[in-house]
Structure 1
């Protein structure tokens, strides 16, 4: 553990930020899994709702610096492709 007051504070603040980031990433993964689950079950309307939520969470993750913009765009493209396949059939 650090001895300097500001260093101690940094340890605490970084731990809090890490916990928030992990919680947000977990929520993001859950949203994406939910979409894929509904897509596999051919529940189009539920999948569309979850698609909107998942893409929104991906955009927020980019804004928070948790994901690179290209990584989020790639994931959104995969979700969109899966949704298009679902609605086409």
Structure 2
């Protein structure tokens, strides 16, 4: 355990930021699962609606520095491709 005041503060700040990052990543994963669930159920309207929500959450995570911009772009591209593929079929 840290004895120095600044080290104790760093531990608290790190815990706070870790929890925030986990919450946001969890929210992104949940929205992605909802899109994939709509695709699996062949519900095109729900998939399109959920895609917008998922893209919004991914962009928020990117803007907060939780995802790298290329990671966010890759996830959005793959989700969009899956939804568009379902729409084409």
What is the TM-score when the length of structure 1 is the normalising length?
Answer: 0.94
Matches within 5 A, 1:5-84: 5-84=5-84
| Structure 2 counterpart SS, 1:26 | helix
Identify unmatched segments of 5+ residues in structure 2. Answer: none
Deviations along 1:17-63, whole A, 9 cap, x unmatched? 10111011011101001100101111111111110011111111111
Tell me the equivalent position of 1:87. 87
Runs of 4 or more consecutive aligned structure 1 residues displaced over 2 Å after TM superposition: none
Structure 2 length normalisation: TM-score? 0.94
Task: Give the total of aligned pairs.
Answer: 89
What CA RMSD, in Å, does the superposition of the two structures yield over aligned residues? 0.9
Distance 2:6 2:85 in 1: 53
Q: Please, which runs of 5 or more residues in structure 1 have no aligned partner?
A: none
